């Protein structure tokens, strides 16, 4: 039995080393900017760069738009499919798996061909159009995660029973959604939102191909021109990702459950 | 006891700071069917798992067939076990599940097939060999689990509440089937249950446990008729408690809600209030030969149970239950009706304290 | 309303309430999702497939597909497949080992939740910052490289290692592949009932025999499913590789990226064919999984 635990600890220790060493090394590297001593100069340099604030702000904005659009697209669809059209569910599952199978690079190639300035829907013709396209692309990218988060949320609160109960009490369809369903799946939606945020914030491929001044392309630019700032930016990115995931964890503790199922 | 086959000596298990099994000892002969009976959390499963080898005893020893197995690994003990939740391997067919132990033991495929067929016949599931566990009902799965456990001819069979996940009807038929197979194979069996009826109906002997200790060990009729403690009396079977006032200890008379009764079992030094107990089945409606105590009361509740009707009779402050057979030609008694019941004073037990 | 009626989503409405005048909520609610899927998934993919079979004059042709046989393209595919395969397989095996250690090895519960949280973070810590982190770790001036040289006297780069190589990239990809595996396989490992291993032990099986006949076969479909997901995940990745190596590494995503930016292949049809090939390869990984899962379906509920 002790043998058993020993191998477990050994594997855990090796894994932990692989994951922690790069973080430590990056942190150490980010402090090396000033010759001969450790300093936070690299961080100061990053924060002093106006392009950092601009590109980060832009990505946050696009991230928020992505979340709003994603929620509007996913939540009603999942709700009505669960409630009224369960036969559509396999189809939805299939669609939401596609972004995991078709590489983002391929999709963006399709967008550029389809929505170029000489096409029927010339989204890439203007900055605003391109922002819309970028948002759409990010919603697609986040679709599998958003869908799963919302779907899980609706499963644990058993929306069917909730809806019926509300109908018996005479609530309208609209009241049901706004007053009963949304508050109950808020935690699930927020989890999906934070995950979306984590995926979108440093995304490089799509933003760079659509020529948008996002955080991802900015990072690559810094990477080719600077030595220590990239390490500082990696640490900052890691902290942002950690923050988003930490929020999801925290939210999970407040998730409502109406039907404590033991199966 | 013909020859001692299983001996558990001073078995103790401590989790952290709580001792859940407190120095339990018992011994059984070959081929006996033993039930460990007790309320939830009393340590039955823990004892069984120590016998199986999944928990290390904090103290004590376990001897099977003359071999001390206390420190053997589970896979070296040659015991068979049936779990509460079937625990069939989902990725193997019924046949492969039953044959798993034989395969591990290195039995050639041909002999394995024969043994599997025998086992399927024994549990009445011939022809189910190629099915997967999820294609079977709960009762069928549990029978396959039983066949899997006995296929390698283990020295002893351990069952941990194997019937509690099944519905009432199947529970009864399957327990009879288990007993029949056990008698047929003559395999020593330890059966854990918290259902007293189950234990009473199929065991050779019962170990009644409470809070980690043995309360009583004996054959079903001994446990039921001569409970060794108040706990056993109330845990095994239905029991009526009657509060009475001693009127004359020497003459062994008491009053029950104002009605006089003579209790032969009354100790000479009894005085004031005492608690009398009796089984529902010793009470009769109306008079009966040999019943020397009659009590008048009103019917407080009637529960129709099919062949039996259970009455709750209020004698004033006391309430007793009794069962009468359902007679199709008469209307069952109704709530609120007056009723006379009788019993034999010698059936009354006196609980001290 | 008429064109909305044409969506498949309205069909239940006609089932439940034929000719009713009330607003078809069901259809309206599902419509955005379907419009979205068509605009951002189906049409782009179809347009690429079409383009892959079209020449510059707009005629049907197989030339683009044949063009994929060019040496540089084949080798780009091959390197991509090898890196994705290696990082997926290693990621899956190591991830499974770590999951088993945490769950079956009964490591303390707080450790387990810490690992799960960290996996959530690390699986999303991909792309450019990951490349920066590995440059700071295993690059020529990275901490580990320096420590190996100054403390252990071992020159990593002189021994043939290069972060910008097959193994360097695989090692980097593992940083998000392993956590992804842990996240996806943990519920499956949790689903392995304690009683199964106990039942096997009672029947005389050693721990190894339990895993050989019961544990691993039960995990196999989930394992394979995750493996194909990890493969697709690495196969489509470009940001990490790009930030590590710029346009130097000849993997298929970099090739396609360059094609999109500036028509590197001098033929848009060939670019589309390249994309089609990528879809086919990731689909194939999924189809293999589906076939295996389907065979296992016989015993899975
Ligand atoms: N691994 C463990 N760690 C700590 N306490 C335990 C452990 N296993 C059992 N216990 C405790 O030991 C006591 C006896 O448990 P056991 O499972 O033997 O009861 P039982 O008689 O089988 O009850 P039931 O009828 O509910 O199955 C319980 O209070 C239980 O909480
Ligand atoms: Mg138990």
The pLDDT tens digits of the residues spanning B233-273 come to 888 877 888 888 888 888 888 888 888 888 888 888 877 88
Query: What pLDDT does A1 receive?
Result: 45
Residue C58 counted as domain residue:
no
- Stretch B185-203: mean pLDDT: 91
Chain C hits for B75, Cβ within 8 Å: 200-206
Low-confidence ranges of chain C (pLDDT < 50): 1-20
Query: What pLDDT does B98 receive?
Result: 94
Sheet holding B156-160, edge to edge: B79-82, B156-160, B188-193, B33-37, B205-210, B213-218
- Residue located nearest, by CA, to atom 6 of ligand 1: B15
Number of domains in chain C: 1
**C85 CB neighbour count, 10 Å cutoff:** 17
Is C26–A80 a contact, with Cβ atoms under 8 angstroms apart?
Answer: yes
Residue B14, phi-psi category: left (phi > 0), alpha (psi -120 to 50), beta (remainder): beta
Query: What pLDDT does C7 receive?
Result: 41
B41 Cβ inside 6 Å of ligand 1 = yes
- Å from CA of B302 to ligand 2 middle: 34
Calculate how close chain C gets to A119, using CA atoms only, in Å. 12
- Stretch B294-306: mean pLDDT: 88
Chain C hits for B69, Cβ within 8 Å: none
Chain B hits for C218, Cβ within 8 Å: 89-91
Nearest CA among B199, C147, C16, B229 for reference residue A25? C147
Q: Are A213 and C100 in contact, with CB atoms under 8 Å apart? A: no
Query: What pLDDT does A256 receive?
Result: 67
d(CA B24, CA B36): 12
Calculate how close chain C gets to B314, using CA atoms only, in Å. 49
Chain C hits for B81, Cβ within 8 Å: 198-199, 202
- Stretch B168-193: mean pLDDT: 90
Query: What pLDDT does A156 receive?
Result: 80
Residue C105 counted as domain residue:
yes
Query: What pLDDT does B118 receive?
Result: 92
d(CA B289, CA B330): 22
Range of the domain at C225: 69-300
Q: Are B302 and B333 in contact, with CB atoms under 8 Å apart? A: yes
Query: What pLDDT does A261 receive?
Result: 42
Query: What pLDDT does C36 receive?
Result: 92
Q: Are A133 and A207 in contact, with CB atoms under 8 Å apart? A: no
Q: Could you tell me if C300 lies within 8 Å of chain B, comparing CB atoms? A: yes
- Stretch B289-300: mean pLDDT: 87
- Residue located nearest, by CA, to atom 20 of ligand 1: B41
Residue C59 counted as domain residue:
no
Treating both helix axes as pointing N-terminal to C-terminal, what angle do C25-37 and A89-101 enclose, rounded to 10 degrees?
A: 20
Query: What pLDDT does A36 receive?
Result: 84
Q: Are A58 and A184 in contact, with CB atoms under 8 Å apart? A: no
Written in H, E and C, the secondary structure of chain C is CHHHHCCHHHHHHHHHCCCCCCCCHHHHHHHHHHHHHHHHHHHHHHHHHHHHCECCCCCECCHHHHHCCCHHHHHHHHHHHHHHHHHHHHHHHHHHHHHHHHHCCCCCHHHHHHHHHHHHHHHHCCCHHHHHHHHHHHCCCCHHHHHHHHCCCCCCCCCCCCCCCHHHHHHHHHHHHHHHHHHHHHHHHHCCCHHHHHHHHHCCCCHHHHHHHHHHHHHHHHHHHHHHHHHHHHHCCCHHHHHHHCCCCCCHHHHHHHHHHHCCCCCHHHHHHHHHHHHHHHHHHHHHHHHHHHHHCCCCC
Q: Which of residues 179-198 of C touch A (CB under 8 A)?
A: 179
Query: What pLDDT does B353 receive?
Result: 44
The pLDDT tens digits of the residues spanning C87-96 come to 999 999 999 9
Provide long-range contacts, Cβ within 8 A and 24+ apart, for A251-257.
Answer: A251/A187, A251/A190, A251/A191, A251/A194, A252/A187, A252/A191, A254/A187, A255/A153, A255/A156, A255/A187, A255/A188, A256/A156, A256/A157, A256/A184, A256/A187, A257/A156, A257/A157
The CA-CA-CA angle for residues A169, A174, A180, to 5°, reads: 60
Q: Are B297 and B341 in contact, with CB atoms under 8 Å apart? A: yes
Residue C289 counted as domain residue:
yes
Query: What pLDDT does A154 receive?
Result: 86
DSSP-derived letter for residue B74 is G
User: Which of B45, B58, B213 maximizes ligand 1 atoms within 8 Å of its Cβ, making it the mutation to test the pocket?
Assistant: B45
Nearest CA among C195, C252, A1, C76 for reference residue B142? C195
B39 Cβ inside 6 Å of ligand 1 = no
Low-confidence ranges of chain A (pLDDT < 50): 1-2, 259-263
Ligand 1 atom nearest B13 alpha carbon: 12
Residue C279 counted as domain residue:
yes
Q: Is C7 exposed, middle or buried (0-12, 13-18, 19+ CB in 10 A)?
A: middle
Query: What pLDDT does A227 receive?
Result: 85
Query: What pLDDT does C14 receive?
Result: 41
For an interface test with B, the pick among C203, C221, C292 (most B C-beta atoms closer than 10 Å) comes out as C203
B40 Cβ inside 6 Å of ligand 1 = yes
Query: What pLDDT does C21 receive?
Result: 54
- Å from CA of B174 to ligand 2 middle: 19
**Backbone φ and ψ of C167, nearest 5°:** -70, -35
Query: What pLDDT does A171 receive?
Result: 81
> Among B81, B134, B152, whose Cβ lies nearest the Cβ of C301?
B134
Q: Looking at residue C176, which CATH number applies to its domain? A: 1.10.3720.10
d(CA B21, CA A187): 44
Mean pLDDT score across all residues of chain B: 88
Residue C47 counted as domain residue:
no
Q: Could you tell me if C200 lies within 8 Å of chain B, comparing CB atoms? A: yes
Ligand 1 atom nearest B43 alpha carbon: 18
> Among C202, C214, C301, whose Cβ lies nearest the Cβ of B81?
C202
Report the neighbours of A using a cutoff of 3 or more CB pairs below 8 angstroms: C
Chain A hits for C131, Cβ within 8 Å: 223
Residue C89 counted as domain residue:
yes
Q: Could you tell me if A68 lies within 8 Å of chain C, comparing CB atoms? A: no
Is C127–A203 a contact, with Cβ atoms under 8 angstroms apart?
Answer: yes
From the CA of B160, the nearest ligand is 2
Is B100–C213 a contact, with Cβ atoms under 8 angstroms apart?
Answer: yes
pLDDT surpassing 80 at residue B69: yes
Q: Which of residues 125-154 of B touch C (CB under 8 A)?
A: 132-134, 145, 148-149, 152, 154
- Stretch B29-56: mean pLDDT: 92
Residue C49 counted as domain residue:
no
B17 Cβ inside 6 Å of ligand 1 = no
Q: Are A157 and A185 in contact, with CB atoms under 8 Å apart? A: yes
Q: Are A74 and C33 in contact, with CB atoms under 8 Å apart? A: yes
ipTM, interface predicted TM-score of the complex = 0.86
Q: Could you tell me if B54 lies within 8 Å of chain C, comparing CB atoms? A: yes
> Among B73, B76, B83, whose Cβ lies nearest the Cβ of C199?
B83
């Amino acid at each position: 039995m002790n043998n058993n635990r020993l191998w477990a600890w050994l594997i855990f220790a090796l894994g932990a080393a692989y994951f922690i060493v790069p973080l430590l090394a990056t942190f150490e590297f980010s402090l090396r900017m000033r010759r001969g001593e450790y300093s936070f100069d690299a961080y100061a340099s990053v924060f002093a760069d106006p392009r950092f604030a601009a590109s980060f702000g832009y990505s946050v904005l696009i991230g928020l738009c992505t979340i709003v659009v994603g929620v509007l697209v996913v939540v009603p669809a999942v709700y009505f499919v669960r409630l009224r059209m369960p036969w559509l569910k396999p189809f939805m599952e299939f669609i939401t798996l596609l972004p995991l199978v078709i590489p983002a690079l391929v999709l963006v190639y399709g967008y550029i061909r389809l929505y170029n300035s000489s096409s029927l829907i010339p989204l890439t013709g203007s900055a605003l159009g391109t922002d819309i396209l970028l948002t759409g692309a990010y919603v697609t990218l986040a679709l599998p995660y958003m869908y799963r988060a919302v779907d899980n949320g609706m499963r644990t609160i058993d929306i069917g029973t909730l809806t019926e109960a509300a109908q018996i009490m005479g609530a309208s369809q609209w009241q049901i959604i706004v007053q009963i369903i949304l508050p109950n799946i808020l935690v699930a939606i927020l989890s999906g939102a934070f995950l979306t945020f984590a995926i979108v914030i440093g995304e490089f491929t799509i933003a760079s191909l659509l020529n948008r001044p996002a955080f991802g392309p900015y990072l690559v630019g810094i990477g080719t021109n600077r030595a220590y700032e990239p390490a500082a930016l990696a640490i900052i990115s890691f902290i942002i990702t950690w923050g988003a995931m930490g929020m999801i964890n925290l939210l999970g503790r407040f998730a409502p459950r109406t039907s404590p199922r033991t199966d | 006891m013909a020859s001692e086959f299983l001996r558990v000596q001073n078995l103790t298990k401590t989790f952290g700071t709580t001792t859940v099994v407190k120095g339990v000892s018992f011994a059984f002969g070959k081929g006996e069917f033993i039930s460990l009976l007790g309320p939830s959390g009393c340590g039955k499963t823990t004892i069984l798992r120590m016998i199986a080898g999944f928990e290390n005893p904090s103290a004590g020893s376990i001897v099977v067939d003359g071999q001390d197995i206390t420190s053997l690994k589970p896979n070296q003990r040659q015991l068979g076990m049936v779990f509460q939740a079937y625990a069939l391997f989902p990725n193997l067919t019924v046949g492969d599940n039953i044959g798993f132990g034989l395969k591990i033991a290195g039995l050639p495929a041909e002999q394995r097939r024969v043994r599997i067929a025998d086992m399927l016949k024994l549990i009445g599931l011939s022809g189910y060999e190629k099915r997967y566990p999820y294609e079977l009902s709960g009762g069928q799965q549990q029978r396959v689990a039983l066949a899997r456990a006995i296929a390698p001819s283990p020295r002893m069979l351990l069952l941990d509440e194997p019937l509690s996940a099944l519905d009432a009807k199947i529970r009864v038929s399957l327990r009879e089937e288990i007993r029949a197979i056990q008698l047929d194979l003559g395999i020593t069996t330890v059966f854990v249950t918290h259902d007293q009826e189950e234990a009473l109906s199929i065991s050779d002997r019962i170990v009644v446990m409470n809070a980690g200790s043995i309360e009583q060990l004996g054959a079903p009729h001994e446990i039921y008729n001569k409970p060794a403690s108040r706990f056993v009396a109330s845990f095994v079977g239905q029991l009526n408690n009657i509060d009475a006032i001693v009127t004359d200890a020497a003459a062994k008379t008491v009053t029950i809600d104002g009605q006089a009764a003579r209790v032969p079992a009354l100790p000479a030094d009894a005085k004031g209030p005492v608690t009398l107990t009796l089984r529902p089945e010793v009470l009769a409606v109306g008079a009966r030969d040999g019943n020397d105590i009659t009590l008048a009361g009103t019917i407080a509740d009637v529960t129709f149970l099919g062949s039996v009707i259970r009455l709750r009779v209020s004698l004033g402050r006391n309430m007793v239950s009794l069962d009468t057979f359902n007679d199709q030609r008469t209307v069952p008694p109704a709530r609120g009706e007056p009723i006379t019941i009788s019993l034999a004073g010698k059936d009354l037990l006196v609980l001290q304290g | 309303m008429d064109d909305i009626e044409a969506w498949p989503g309205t069909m239940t409405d006609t089932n439940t309430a034929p000719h009713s005048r009330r607003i078809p909520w069901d259809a309206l609610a599902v419509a955005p999702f379907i419009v979205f899927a068509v605009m951002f998934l189906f049409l782009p993919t179809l347009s690429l497939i079409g383009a892959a079979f079209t020449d510059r004059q707009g005629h049907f042709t197989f030339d683009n597909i044949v063009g994929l046989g060019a040496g540089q393209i084949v080798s780009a595919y091959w390197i991509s497949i090898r890196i994705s395969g290696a990082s997926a397989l290693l990621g899956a095996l190591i991830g499974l080992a770590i999951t088993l250690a945490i769950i079956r090895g009964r490591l303390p519960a707080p450790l387990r939740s810490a690992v799960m949280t960290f996996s959530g973070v690390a699986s999303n810590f991909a792309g450019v910052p990951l490349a920066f982190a590995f440059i700071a770790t295993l690059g020529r001036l990275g901490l580990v490289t320096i420590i190996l040289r100054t403390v252990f006297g071992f020159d990593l780069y002189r021994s043939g290692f290069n972060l910008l190589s097959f193994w360097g990239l695989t090692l980097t990809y593992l940083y998000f592949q392993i956590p992804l595996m842990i996240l996806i396989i943990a519920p499956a490992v949790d689903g392995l009932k304690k009683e199964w291993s106990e039942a096997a032990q009672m029947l005389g099986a050693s721990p190894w025999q339990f895993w050989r006949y019961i544990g691993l076969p039960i995990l196999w479909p989930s394992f394979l499913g995750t493996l194909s997901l990890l493969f697709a995940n690495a196969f489509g990745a470009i940001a990490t590789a790009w930030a590590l190596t710029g346009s130097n590494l000849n993997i298929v995503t970099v090739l396609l990226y360059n094609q999109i930016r500036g028509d590197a292949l001098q033929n848009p049809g060939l670019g589309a064919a390249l994309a089609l090939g990528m879809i086919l390869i990731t689909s194939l990984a999924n189809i293999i999984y589906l076939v295996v899962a389907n065979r296992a379906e016989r015993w899975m509920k």
